Amino acid sequence: MRVPCRSFAGVLRDARLAPGRVVALAIDAEGHDEAIVSSLELCDGALAPALVVYEHAHLDGVARARARRHLADAGYACLGHAGNTWCVRGPWATP
């Protein structure tokens, strides 16, 4: 079965959401979370949610590190807990 794929930025643009309207993004893709996280175009701060949560329980160490690095490079602070990684950006990311 073929499943059409779309980018996160494309979905937001098609929905005509104003920049900054998406506050949180939760990803649970049963082992494909790193591929989704790594595809996010987070350099455009207008499309970057303040909170990204993804399931890391099914990822190996390399995939976990890649996902976390992608988010850290975009200014997110990340914390892993109970099989999930919680990443915040903006004023909430500072200690």
Q: Give the pLDDT confidence score for residue 84 in this predicted structure.
A: 96
- Encode the chain (95 residues) as per-residue pLDDT tens digits: 888 888 887 888 888 877 677 889 999 999 999 999 999 888 666 678 899 999 999 999 999 999 999 999 999 999 999 999 999 987 766 66
Q: Give the pLDDT confidence score for residue 19 in this predicted structure.
A: 66
Give the phi and the psi of residue 84 in degrees, each rounded to 5: -125, 155
Pair 85, 56: CB distance under 8 Å: yes
Pair 56, 47: CB distance under 8 Å: no
Q: If you compute the radius of gyration of the chain from its CA atoms, what whole number of angstroms results? A: 13
